[in-house]
Amino acid sequence: MTTTIGSNEFLMRWIPPAAGILFVVLFVSLGIWQLNRAFEKNATHAAFAEANQYTELRSSSRTERFQAIRATGQYLPDKQVIIDNIVQNGRLGFYVITPFRSTHHPSLIAVNRGWLARDASGDALPNPGVSGEQRVVRGKVGGLPRVGIRPGPAFTDESWPRRAVWPDLDDLAAAWQEPVAPQVLLLDPGEADGLLRNWEPPESGSLKHYSYAFQWFAMAVAMIAIMYWNIYRKRPGAVPREPA
């Protein structure tokens, strides 16, 4: 019986502080992780803003995300893909993806020419024209908009322009019946055939990560304070304060 009581006292004495230490380590780790996410987002925004040295996109090109690139060739305006359900400033609209045949790349380049708002009816599919003349287009390396689970196939018909819902590059290659380069060119705002182009890295909002980090660190400090109070009040001779 004495052994059992002693074991229980030992457990009651050491389990709470051990658990408290584990929680402190967990909270601090989560706070550090949030800080690292904030630093990564700041670095991403800096890289996006500083990308202004354009290099020609070739089949041998090794590109980084948001790298400034250019392509020489011509649009194929008869095979535009219109991505539906894209929200800008609280309004529904479309991204206009136009294939571009480059003289320096064997695959078609998917050029995101920007965003167009839906009309009042919401049913009409836009087809913003662009000429097929030889030109140089400039932009940044990006990607297609993504969603966790696509509700159905990317395309529901075979007419042009073709309405799309969350297509990927394989879907575009199948629609255009040609290979597609792995880089999507986000057309610079200053380029011709203007549509709305407010390109920003998807990883925006580092401030919220700083806020989350502060909360985790505050919880760690609170846990340390609770542990200290528990240890202090159990010290021999410690006199608990009377409530005011």
Predicted local confidence at residue 113, as pLDDT: 92
Beta bridge partners of 112: 97, 186
> How much is the average pLDDT of 158-175?
90
Do 86 and 153 lie in one domain? The reply is yes
Predicted local confidence at residue 209, as pLDDT: 76
**Sign of torsion, CA 64 66 72 76?**
positive
196 assigned to some structural domain: no
Residues 6+ apart with CB under 8 A from 82: 94, 95, 96, 97, 125, 126, 127, 161, 162, 163, 164
Separation CA 172–CA 160 (nearest Å): 13
76 assigned to some structural domain: yes
**Angle at 63 (CA atoms; ends 99, 37), nearest 5 degrees:** 110
Predicted local confidence at residue 205, as pLDDT: 64
Residue by residue, DSSP assigns 7-64 as: HHHHHHHHHHHHHHHHHHHHHHHHHHHHHHHHHHHHHHHHHHHH----EE--TT----
Predicted local confidence at residue 169, as pLDDT: 92
Range of the domain at 144: 67-187
> How much is the average pLDDT of 75-101?
90
Residues 6+ apart with CB under 8 A from 85: 92, 165
54 assigned to some structural domain: no
pLDDT at 64 over 80: no
pLDDT at 243 over 60: no
Do 216 and 181 lie in one domain? The reply is no
Do 31 and 73 lie in one domain? The reply is no
For residue 203, name the pLDDT band (cuts at 50, 70, 90). Answer: low
Which pTM does this prediction carry?
Answer: 0.64
For residue 47, name the pLDDT band (cuts at 50, 70, 90). Answer: low
Task: Name the domain count of the chain.
Answer: 2
Do 81 and 154 lie in one domain? The reply is yes
Closest CA to 172 of 92, 107, 225: 107
> How much is the average pLDDT of 9-21?
66
For residue 96, name the pLDDT band (cuts at 50, 70, 90). Answer: very high
Beta bridge partners of 72: 136
CA distances from 14 to 160, 200, 226 (A): 71, 51, 15
134 assigned to some structural domain: yes
Separation CA 216–CA 40 (nearest Å): 19
> How much is the average pLDDT of 111-116?
92
For residue 100, name the pLDDT band (cuts at 50, 70, 90). Answer: very high
Closest CA to 209 of 51, 43, 82: 43
Predicted local confidence at residue 180, as pLDDT: 92
Do 127 and 161 lie in one domain? The reply is yes
- pLDDT over 70 percentage in the chain: 77
CA distances from 26 to 30, 37, 208 (A): 6, 17, 19
Predicted local confidence at residue 179, as pLDDT: 94
pLDDT at 158 over 80: yes
Do 71 and 173 lie in one domain? The reply is yes
Do 37 and 72 lie in one domain? The reply is no
Do 37 and 103 lie in one domain? The reply is no
199 assigned to some structural domain: no
For residue 70, name the pLDDT band (cuts at 50, 70, 90). Answer: confident
Predicted local confidence at residue 173, as pLDDT: 94
For residue 227, name the pLDDT band (cuts at 50, 70, 90). Answer: confident
57 assigned to some structural domain: no
Do 227 and 145 lie in one domain? The reply is no
Residues 212-215: contacts with CB within 8 Å, 24+ apart?
A: 212/30, 212/31, 212/34, 213/31, 213/32, 213/34, 213/35, 213/38, 214/31, 215/31
Residue 161: cis peptide before it, omega within 30 degrees of 0? yes
For residue 68, name the pLDDT band (cuts at 50, 70, 90). Answer: confident
Do 78 and 173 lie in one domain? The reply is yes
Do 163 and 220 lie in one domain? The reply is no
Do 109 and 34 lie in one domain? The reply is no
Predicted local confidence at residue 97, as pLDDT: 93
193 assigned to some structural domain: no
Q: Which two tokens stand for residue 184?
A: 């999507």
Angle between helices 206-233 and 2-50 (to 10 degrees): 160
51 assigned to some structural domain: no
Average pLDDT of the chain is 79
